Amino acid sequence: MSDKLQQHRTRIDALDDELLKLINERAEHAKAIGVLKNGVVYRPEREAQVLRRVKDNNPGPMSGETVARLFREVMSACLALEKPLSVAFLGPAGTFTQAAAIKHFGHAAHTEACSSIDEVFRKVEANIVDYGVVPVENSTEGTVSRTLDLLLASPLKICGEVDLRVHQFLMRKKEGLQDIRRVYSHAQSLGQCHEWLNKNLPDIPRIPVSSNAEAARLASEDESSAAVAGEMAAELYQLQKLAQNIEDEPNNTTRFLVIAQHDAAPSGKDKTSLAMSAKNKPGTIVELLSPLAKYQVSMTKLESRPSRMGMWEYVFFVDVEGHQLDENVAKALQELESKAAFLKVMGSYPIAVL
């Protein structure tokens, strides 16, 4: 071994010893905080602040994204010493929703697959799990309306959001595209990879199934089948990834919400999700939204859905920048309350950092 290489390795060993000591010292502080808190240990606003701080102070050469991901895992492990968290997600195992849950809570959280979005809500409401992660919108497929309907009816709060780039892979048990007889995937994913499939597997039947993870499971049982799914599903079912990022739209992103019995305290860069309704007469929405403009509260999303409570009534789902305790947001909400037939604050939470 060259002298130079040995010198670097000796230095790395010394630094690892220091890191080990420092990480454990950090963990001791988290444990002590856990005892002081005596209740809810997960603090989304503090986690967002920690991640933003390491990104801002990062001297490189590692990217801000990379250091934030490393600290995400460190915090996840520290929190597990305070109390192990359980997180329900829309399953089965290997779905993008599970990837979003791990991206948000780190690998130390225990993730639990549910068979429907309703079941995720039920488990959090019944305190069977601490948190839930559900999809709410996709940049190409649009809104997940079941999530909005359940948010409207549920006493649960939104305490976080997760943005996940959706990358699709073609996978099967063995190498090579030859003698593939069928391709399984969720209908939406087959749609998202339409052009790649037309070009590379033009005459092979595409079979829609209930989820991408189910597609991967089926492909793991039959060598002549392939699946379109995410990387986690390939790892879970030990499939070969034959082609990556095969989606037609390179910026395909899904947004997920974290639901809980509580929302988050202000972190400095927050969002608030609202649901409101008014009689469906001309100009109503403009009047409803006027307090937001008056107090300079920016809207990041506006969506309407039939309220199901009366024939011509709609519910507007509005996301605004800021926390409900921020002065301008609080004033706007107060005024909105007097104008709206119905107003529900579904939660204030930190804008996604990772």
Ligand X SMILES: O=C(O)C(=O)C[C@]1(C(=O)O)C=C[C@@H](O)C=C1
Half-sphere exposure of 27 (CA within 13 A, CB side): 14
Residue 105 as a binder of ligand X (CB under 6 A): the answer is no
Give me the least distance between CB of 63 and ligand X, in Å please.
Answer: 21
Give me the least distance between CB of 33 and ligand X, in Å please.
Answer: 4
What is the bridge-based pairing of β-strands 342-350 and 270-278?
antiparallel
Position closest to ligand X via CB? 78
User: Which residue has tokens 């492990």?
Assistant: 77
Report CA-CA distances (Å) from 346 to 48, 127, 207, 324.
19, 18, 38, 10
Q: Give the interface segment with ligand X, choosing from 75-83, 203-211, 221-229, 316-324 (CB under 6 A).
A: 75-83
Q: Give the interface segment with ligand X, choosing from 35-43, 53-61, 237-245, 329-337 (CB under 6 A).
A: 35-43
User: Which residue has tokens 């800021």?
Assistant: 322
Binding mask 209-248 for ligand X (x = CB under 6 A): ----------------------------------------
Residue 285 as a binder of ligand X (CB under 6 A): the answer is no
Size of the site for ligand X (CB under 6 A): 12
Determine the Cα–Cα distance for residues 165 and 352; give it in Å rounded to an integer: 13
Count the Cβ atoms, other than its own, within 10 Å of residue 188. 15
Q: Extract the tokens encoding 198.
A: 């037309």
Please identify, using beta-carbon distances, which residue of 43 and 323 lies nearer to ligand X.
43
Q: Are 65 and 71 in contact (CB under 8 A)?
A: no
Please identify, using beta-carbon distances, which residue of 27 and 207 lies nearer to ligand X.
27
Which of 110, 246, 236 lies closest to 191 in space, CA to CA? Answer: 246
Please identify, using beta-carbon distances, which residue of 77 and 330 lies nearer to ligand X.
77
Residue 48 as a binder of ligand X (CB under 6 A): the answer is no
Classify the C-alpha dihedral 52-53-57-58 as positive or negative.
negative
Residue 354 as a binder of ligand X (CB under 6 A): the answer is no
Give me the least distance between CB of 45 and ligand X, in Å please.
Answer: 9
- Of 75, 232, 260, 346, which one interacts with ligand X (CB under 6 A)? 75
Determine the Cα–Cα distance for residues 289 and 135; give it in Å rounded to an integer: 26
Residue 67 as a binder of ligand X (CB under 6 A): the answer is no
Determine the Cα–Cα distance for residues 125 and 180; give it in Å rounded to an integer: 44
> How would you class 238 by CB atoms within 10 Å of its CB: exposed for 0-12, middle for 13-18, buried for 19 or more?
exposed
Please identify, using beta-carbon distances, which residue of 83 and 182 lies nearer to ligand X.
83
Please identify, using beta-carbon distances, which residue of 78 and 232 lies nearer to ligand X.
78
| Phi, psi for 252 (deg, rounded to 5) | -65, 115
Binding mask 77-96 for ligand X (x = CB under 6 A): -xx--x--------------
Please identify, using beta-carbon distances, which residue of 78 and 289 lies nearer to ligand X.
78
Determine the Cα–Cα distance for residues 307 and 216; give it in Å rounded to an integer: 37
Please identify, using beta-carbon distances, which residue of 38 and 178 lies nearer to ligand X.
38
Give me the least distance between CB of 106 and ligand X, in Å please.
Answer: 10
Please identify, using beta-carbon distances, which residue of 246 and 259 lies nearer to ligand X.
259
Give me the least distance between CB of 41 and ligand X, in Å please.
Answer: 6
Q: Give the interface segment with ligand X, choosing from 10-18, 74-82, 87-95, 292-300 (CB under 6 A).
A: 74-82
Determine the Cα–Cα distance for residues 106 and 216; give it in Å rounded to an integer: 24
Determine the Cα–Cα distance for residues 227 and 237; give it in Å rounded to an integer: 11
- Of 33, 93, 204, 265, which one interacts with ligand X (CB under 6 A)? 33
Amino acid at position 171, single letter: M
The three-class DSSP label of residue 271 is strand
User: Applying CB under 6 A, which residues contact ligand X?
Assistant: 30, 33, 41-43, 46-47, 50, 75, 78-79, 82
